[in-house]
Chain A
Amino acid sequence: MASLRPLSRGPFLLLLIFFVFSLSLLRPIQGNGGSDGGGGGEEFSEELLLKPLPDRKVLAHFHFRSAAPPSAANGRHHHLFPKAIAQLVQKFQIRELELSFTQGRWNYERWGGSDPISTRNAKPPGVELWALFDLPTEEIDPTWKNLTHALSGLFCASINFLESPTAYSSPYWGFLSNNGNLRYGALPREAVCTENLTPWLKILPCRDKAGIASLLYRPSIYKGYYHSQRLRLLSSESKGIILEQTLTVVLQPNSYTSSLLSSSDAQLQPSWSLSQLFKKEMTGKCVLAKSSKIFLELERGLLEKIVEIRDDSWSNSFFDLFPSPDREIKELENSNGQVGSSLYEYKVDNSNENKPLDVGITWKLPLVWSSVHAPFQASRFLMGSGNERGSIAISLQSTQTHDQYFGDLNDCTVPVIVLQVVPWYVKVYYHTLQISIDGKPQTLSDVIEKIQVTPSEDKLLPGTLEIMLRFPCSMLSATLSLDFDKGFLHIDEYPPDANQGFDIPSALVTFPNIYSSRSYPDYDVSDDSSLLHNLQEKYLVRSYTEVLLVPLTTPDFSMPYNVITFTCTVLALYFGSLLNVLRRRIGEEERLLAKKDSARPGLVPLLFSRLSSKLKGRKLLLKVVFVALVAVVWHYFLNSS
């Protein structure tokens, strides 16, 4: 009997194992969120924020967030979180990383400069990459090089150009305060296109097959005025790895209705909807996403106008939002009693193939408003002409919005941090730094609070200037200028289109005391919308300046042989003639000449006699024959082999 027992237990155990196994197999498929505790708590959420801009354009901000809580299996097995990214974080010990691909320039004046969307998502043109490492200082640079290669493989971009030490820098406090473990690099000329988007979408669990990402219709997003695709990684012991992928596009809607109406009134905003912008409607969420929402944001400036007529905020005499939102989330009014912006939430869960969701806005009356500006608008330009020297000027123009940021104007000052990285062939003279406020030159020590210069080394290091300035709040404009000499490069160091010029990456202007954040009193933590969470986070207001194009003189690329031969000829001339002068002994030559004059035969007989005298020895003849023989044999040998 005892021997029969295990036999009867066997099928039951097998069944149990099969059941558990099938459950674990099913888990990733049914794992919509971490509610069932499956998938190791990995989460994914997708959100889209739409916002009409004052200049008749539309901002669409896609936000995807994946999180992998700390677990032993990180980097080996994942349910939702992209394994490649987890391995990247593990291998290179990344604490924070941000990679952005941008095309076009964010228009700070029209699209806003101090709201959370613009401070986070306005990026310099081209590629920008920065990373904070959790490594000892001496290992950071090699790790950075490996990281750039890994990323360039992952995203099909030439991020590996950031590997060379001339391309990246390590700012101390101008970008983020850190203790030497930050590396920052930018490639202003990198062209961004769909080959960078495809690998970026591959990281998403549903790719662009379902959910919000399915809206990414390539022709319409690359037709936009601004396109910035961003990837941000945060990793910590307690929270695990958080991956945020955002895509920000500024589009120009052109619908039939708006074009008809705008002919009668140019000021009327164009009406738009998802199907018009992206040629697609929402037909259900990505099933793996925990939450899937679309927000439509109306700015403070816009709402202020509507509040005056005490109308319903989403369906009024100016415009209609359609369909009507599931919820309205209002921003907390600020201390002056001004209205805040509003978010209108649409849940994608309710939509399906039969009942698609097509969020949009229809304008009925023209409305003019302006977006929220940063206290100063930064721009940068080159001065001087010619290819020998010039100067870089960074100018800050006040946007006349002091009352929003500072209370008393009389003795208030505003700190501004400028980070400027210049490649080594732009040789900046840091002692020529000049700062003028409202056109009046200032003594540097009065304005500069902190300065950190890392001068460039030829072919080794870019120059980095980090400077913290303190300006009076009532200032209208300020200008920083630095003189530089243009370098002359070796013929191989020029890019293929040398005459186009060289790009200086954008400077970054940060306002360390001014934060962009919104507070939503109705916001519910249980909502767990990561986009809302981000909007509420405190974030420094920063703005990037333009990329500068510096033309450098070129040598003649077709000349290397000529130059080498000419120079060597001159040298040979010098060497030969000087040695000749030193060697000559005029007296002896004269004596020799005198001797020869007495009995001088003609040139031909002389040559003949010399030749015959040499041939008489027979040795030479033998030598000549021998050499000829060797040559023939050699030739034969070479040909046969």
Chain B
Amino acid sequence: MAEIRPYWALAAAAALGFRVLLLILFPGDLHLGSRPEVATPLTSLRRLSEGYWLKQSSMSPYAGSMYHGSPLLLPILGPLTAERTDGQPAHFYCSLLFVVVDFVTAMLIRATGQKLLLSRRQSLEYLNLPKLVKNSANINAGDLASLIYLWNPLTIVTCLGLCSSPIDNLMVVLTIYAACSRLAPLAAFGYVLATHLSLYPAILILPVILLLGYGPDAPPAKLFLHKSSNSDGKDPSNNDESRSAVTTHKPVRCFSRRPVVHFMIWVSIWSCYVLFLCSIYLKGLGGLQEMFKKTYGFILTVGDLSPNIGVLWYFFAEVFEFFRNFFLIVFHVNILFMILPLAIRLKHRPCFLAFVYTAISAMLKSYPSVGDSALYLGLLGLFANELADMQFSFFLFFGYIGVSLLSPVMHNLWIWRGTGNANFYFATGLVYSCLQTVLIVESVSTMLKHDRMLRKHVIA
């Protein structure tokens, strides 16, 4: 692996420049905002500007089943999406804002990666595995992940595609970064906003608490115990040194309550604040009850059956009305059901846990888009060292390419030409879900294998 660091700034700048270039070369000609893979009913900026228009004409932005996003986005993005008459193409400033948001997200991923790298190096050194440290020292996971995020075609499409997912992604990444750095107020802010914007990041509460309590990812706690007992027994000569090492590492493996309690307090403060702002904005227009019904209710009941990259739209368009509620519960419980087993097995790697949760919710959420995939693929880069020997990576890589090429073709055949039918497009959605399943299962099993390998090294 070549050294990335010297080229990082250049590559990142090139990625941002590429976005701006596309923006200038095709002002509004890309029509990405109307692609079902990019903009969902939740994130579409077209719907947002309808909500803004309704608000401007003193109606509730949620009137008319058009807008289902947060009311806080309206005053920020609304004026930017309004039609301009001074020569600039509509949405130009909005897209520029998203370029900046993407950059910030990439920076936060990079910072998270550096924290993870530091913690990994420390723990490996403590476990006396210099060989592994040397192997991986050259791969700076943070730089890699941020470049993956910036250069991912899915991210670029999302950034230029006039949807609000870049902001959702920023909030998720901010939560993880702040939790890694043990900044409870910031983590609470990111967590509350991410949950407010798209509900599914609510399940990140477990990884965030683990991160705040134990610190960033490390090998299983058993290894440290094993190591410390070994070093105590076997190496009396080295006693002082190892003891000092233990003392330095002790806070890492001990659950510290303080930041978690801080986090909880801050979460309640921020959520009160967000709700307060929302209620001010929606004063006299239906209030918070309508907001919850039209945002969270819309997400949970899968009210809009327009096609997207997932499978639920077709499922709920076809399933018998009688079973609808049952399957709604089944699909949502499927996300919740895996939380606990994963948390038990991966509690020593909260950052990776956060990645798995993000990937699972991206796969099973009611209105998935490629923006969600862009996020978890970016986060995947953070674990480049641990997942180096992942299986099926070749298959997955070309699978993603194949699906992202076939899906627009099938959509075109069905919707625009009328020569295909809905099953064509649904099939790509199925394949995509399978790919994501394989990715999640393989990454989890590789991570567990990695831990097993560490254990072997330590015991041996």
Contacts and interface: CB of A to CB of B under 8 A. Distances in A.
Interface of A: 385-389, 424, 427, 429-431, 451, 453, 455-458, 463, 485, 487-492, 553-556, 559-560, 563-564, 566-567, 570-571, 573-575, 577-579, 581-582, 586-587
A556 B34 contact: no
B319 interface: yes
B113 to A, nearest CB: 25
A388 B415 contact: yes
A424 B66 CA distance: 11
Interface in B54-80: 54, 57, 59, 63-66
A458 B444 contact: no
A456 B64 contact: yes
Contacts of A424: 65
Given A555-B422, A556-B421, A570-B433, A575 B50 contact: no
Q: Give 4 nearest A-B pairs by CB, closest first.
A: A455-B64, A431-B53, A386-B416, A458-B65
Given A453-B57, A556-B423, A566-B311, 12 more contacts: A388-B416, A456-B65, A458-B303, A488-B313, A490-B316, A491-B317, A559-B318, A566-B430, A567-B314, A578-B338, A578-B437, A579-B341
A570 B437 CA distance: 8
A430 B54 contact: yes
Contacts of A387: 415-416, 418
B416 A555 contact: no
Contacts of B430: 566-567, 570
A555 B307 CA distance: 10
A555 B317 CA distance: 8
Most central of B63, B304, B416, B444 by chain A CB within 10 Å: B63
A327 B414 CA distance: 67
Nearest to B57: A453
B318 A582 contact: no
Contacts of B331: 571
B305 A489 contact: yes
Contacts of A457: 63-65
Interface in B310-329: 311-321
A254 B306 CA distance: 53
B437 A573 contact: yes
Nearest to A575: B334
B184 interface: no
Given A563-B315, A574-B441, A581-B444, A458 B434 contact: no
Contacts of A575: 334, 337-338
A388 B307 CA distance: 10
B442 to A, nearest CB: 9
B441 A581 contact: yes
A563 B444 contact: no
B448 interface: yes
25 contacts: A387-B416, A430-B50, A430-B54, A451-B57, A453-B57, A455-B54, A457-B65, A458-B65, A488-B304, A488-B306, A489-B305, A555-B314, A555-B422, A556-B421, A556-B422, A563-B314, A566-B430, A567-B314, A567-B430, A573-B434, A573-B437, A575-B334, A581-B441, A582-B444, A586-B452
Contacts of B345: 582
B50 A431 contact: yes
Contacts of B59: 453, 455
B46 interface: yes
Nearest to A574: B437
A560 B338 contact: no
A553 B317 contact: no
Contact of A563 (B46, B63, B426, B445): B426
B221 interface: no
Interface of B: 34, 46, 49-50, 52-54, 57, 59, 63-66, 303-307, 311-321, 330-331, 334, 337-338, 341-342, 345, 363-364, 414-416, 418, 421-423, 426, 430, 433-434, 437, 440-441, 444-445, 448-449, 452
Chain B CB within 10 Å, residue with most, of A457, A571, A574, A577: A574
A581 B306 contact: no
Contact of A577 (B57, B303, B311, B437): B437
Given A490-B321, A566-B430, A582 B342 contact: yes
A453 B54 CA distance: 9
B320 A578 contact: no
| Dominant SS among interface residues on chain A | mixed
Contact of A578 (B64, B66, B433, B440): B440
A453 B303 CA distance: 23
B63 A455 contact: yes
Contacts, number: 136
Contact of B318 (A430, A487, A555, A586): A555
A276 B4 CA distance: 95
A458 B416 contact: no
A567 B430 CA distance: 7
B31 to A, nearest CB: 10
A573 B437 CA distance: 8
A136 B278 CA distance: 34
Nearest to B431: A570
A530 B288 CA distance: 57
B315 A564 contact: yes
Contact of B64 (A463, A556, A559, A587): A463
Nearest to A571: B334
Nearest to A577: B441
Contacts of A456: 64-65
B65 A427 contact: yes
Contacts of B452: 586-587
A434 to B, nearest CB: 10
Contact of A553 (B321, B415, B426): B415
A563 B50 CA distance: 33
Contacts of B313: 488
Contact of B444 (A389, A491, A578): A578
Nearest to A566: B430
B34 A388 contact: yes
A555 B305 CA distance: 11
Contacts of A458: 65, 303-304
A386 B305 contact: no
B445 A581 contact: yes
Nearest to A424: B65
Contacts of A427: 65-66
A553 B338 contact: no
Contacts of B444: 578, 581-582
B64 A560 contact: no
Contacts of B423: 556, 559
Given A458-B304, A491-B318, A570 B338 contact: no
A386 B416 CA distance: 4
Contacts of B306: 485, 487-488
B41 to A, nearest CB: 9
Nearest to B316: A490
Contacts of B416: 385-388
Contacts of A492: 321
A559 B66 CA distance: 29
B363 A574 contact: yes
A574 B440 contact: yes
